[in-house]
Amino acid sequence: MVMDPLLYEAAAKGEIEPFKEISNVLGRVVTHNNKNTILHVNIISRDRETIVSTEFVEQILEMCPSLLQSVNAKGDAPLHVAAKCGHASVVTALIEIAKKQPKELESGVESTARQMLGMTNDEKNTALHEAMQHRSLDVVKILIKEDPAVPYSTNGCGETPLYMAAERGFEKMLTEILENCPSVAHEGPSGKTALHAAAVNINSIDVVKLLLDKKKSLIGETDRYGWTPLHYASYFDRNIIAELLLNSDKSLAYIVDNDRKMTALHLAAGQGKLRVVEEIISYCPECCELVDGRGWNVLHFAMVSFDASDLKHLLNNYPIVRNLINDKDKEGNTPLHLLAALCRDSFHRIVPWNVGGDYQAVNKQNISVKHITRYGFPQLEQEIRELSKYIGSGQYPEGVVSMRENKIVKRTSHWKFIDENYIGMKEASEFHLVVATLIATVAFSAAFTLPGGNKSEGSPDQGAAILSKQAAFQAFVISDAIAMALSLSAVFVYFILSLKAFQEFIFLFAFALFFTLVAMAAMMVAFVTGAYAMLEPSLGLAIVTCIIGLSFFVLVIFMFYKVLSKADEELEEPWFQ
């Protein structure tokens, strides 16, 4: 029987009178699409933040007790809906009414309430699962304390309520479960536990502490990939959580995963996470010597993924890592082979001089580090790039390694954006050189064609500027000199950039661009002050001329604001997917 609009409105408002006349068919009255009963409609129509009256719920269930466990098209019973909406008073009322049901209605007073607590919808969620998803702490407290022994199993996503609380960082909900449920399940998807989930969440430090206190046995459990909670904390750069885990069990640092036989240290180094690497080394320095299935040690991964400053810090401060510099993997490649393959041009600027690396060391293809710095090693470089894109079965969402060049692009992406995506440094330099030369020419001419002219012959100061004592004229001379100096400096830099040895130094282009822009500004100041010095007797005209000239700066500032705003929007998108 389809619920008509009048009955729907009455159920939403909690008006009981229209339903007294049809009490014998209340259980069959449902909405057209979602198959919600009168009780469902009443519960979902209440505002979450308001105090919900349970009078309508009690009266309807008194007329039709079977509505207590009636489900809608999604498999939601009224208790599911009340948990989703966070109506703690309704949840309490439903449970109390279930307890009062006569034994002949179902299979006993206790079993009715317990059966309702354990009912699952189409997503295999119980009411407690729904309360967790919708952050309803009061409802969670009620459901758990009502029957702590209810076996809350996994839902359709493979999550138990404990796992959901840990994954979302809900410390108070987690506390309620751990303190009231004697043997609560902790499983999650892909064989993960609640501690695995908490180790990923950056805001779950207190949750991790609580789980280590109440369920310390979870610390060494591995998921389907062979990852422990420490593997997750290391991969996702949760250094404080990694410290908590290592402080509880140092042996975690020696566990390798199933796919590539990588330890937590390998994962942290492969993602360029210096803080986590230092934590693991401080607790287990000997694990630095462990290698993965490819034969890579921690330094192989660091050479690929660390920024230059972090790599130098690691090599200078940890001798146990520095001593791995000449260790070879299964292909005979030392860490220096990897670095040279990725950063051939900047290799010698990255590696500290005192690391003691053997540049003549050859791999199984008889290729030395020195050879790679000169001619490259495309095959090895391609293998590393493939590792940066390899996600396994989903356990490496950012790839096995995070390549060094990704970080370089991110740190210099603004200049890269201006340089390559718009006009290119080489082409831009040609145009900028013309502009700088023009400014220098005008500035030079203005210095010898002074506003107001020079004093005539016979004067004691013959040839001197007539307006030399005016402040505006003095400002003109100074700004003209600035424009001359900076424009010639820009011309010199553009000349240097034409030489092949300097073409990679983008910062020189940035300097020249800055010099040219400031020289332009100085030329405009020179024009304004020079015009004012000449037109001072006609003060109104002088002021209007200055205002028009100074509008140049307003237009330039507005243009730069729009350009930089657009650039920031573009740079929010990652350069490497």
Q: Give the pLDDT mean for 460-486.
A: 80
Q: Is 445 left (phi over 0), alpha (psi -120 to 50) or beta?
A: alpha
DSSP labels for 12-32? HHT--HHHHTTGGGGGG-B-T
CB neighbourhood size of 539 (10 A) = 10
User: Residue for token digits 């009780």?
Assistant: 39
Examine residue 526 and state whether it is found in any structural domain, yes or no.
yes
Domain boundary among 132, 150, 168: 150
Closest CA to 26 of 66, 56, 55, 57: 66
Summarised one tens digit per residue, pLDDT across range 191-201 is 999 999 999 99
Confidence class for position 416, pLDDT limits 50, 70, 90: very low
Q: Look up the CATH number of the domain holding residue 90.
A: 1.25.40.20
Confidence class for position 471, pLDDT limits 50, 70, 90: confident
How many independent structural domains does the chain possess?
2
Domain boundary among 150, 166, 185: 150
Mean pLDDT score of the chain: 85
Q: Give the pLDDT mean for 16-23.
A: 86
Instruction: Report residue 10 as tokens.
Output: 């009455």
Examine residue 565 and state whether it is found in any structural domain, yes or no.
yes
H or E element, residue 473: helix 471-497
Please give the residue range of the domain that contains residue 446.
Answer: 416-571
Asked if 405 and 413 touch (Cβ cutoff 8 Å), the reply is no
How far is it, in rounded angstroms, from Cα 447 to Cα 467? Answer: 13
Summarised one tens digit per residue, pLDDT across range 45-68 is 987 756 678 899 999 998 998 899
Summarised one tens digit per residue, pLDDT across range 211-262 is 999 999 999 999 999 999 999 999 999 999 999 999 999 999 999 999 999 9
Examine residue 376 and state whether it is found in any structural domain, yes or no.
no
Examine residue 407 and state whether it is found in any structural domain, yes or no.
no
Instruction: Report residue 390 as tokens.
Output: 């390899």
Domain boundary among 134, 150, 166: 150
Residue 116 CB burial class (10 angstroms; 0-12, 13-18, ≥19): buried
Examine residue 313 and state whether it is found in any structural domain, yes or no.
no
Residue 422 CB burial class (10 angstroms; 0-12, 13-18, ≥19): exposed
Q: Give the pLDDT mean for 414-424.
A: 42
What is the per-residue pLDDT for 207?
A: 94
User: CA triplet 318, 300, 191: central angle to 5 degrees?
Assistant: 100
Q: Hey, what's the torsion of the CAs at 239, 242, 243, 244, to 10 degrees?
A: 130
Examine residue 252 and state whether it is found in any structural domain, yes or no.
no
Q: Hey, what's the torsion of the CAs at 232, 235, 239, 243, to 10 degrees?
A: 50
Asked if 84 and 121 touch (Cβ cutoff 8 Å), the reply is no
Confidence class for position 410, pLDDT limits 50, 70, 90: very low
Instruction: Report residue 343 as tokens.
Output: 């950063």
The pTM of the full predicted model, rounded to 2 decimals, is 0.68
Examine residue 53 and state whether it is found in any structural domain, yes or no.
yes
Closest CA to 275 of 226, 326, 319, 310: 310
Examine residue 125 and state whether it is found in any structural domain, yes or no.
yes
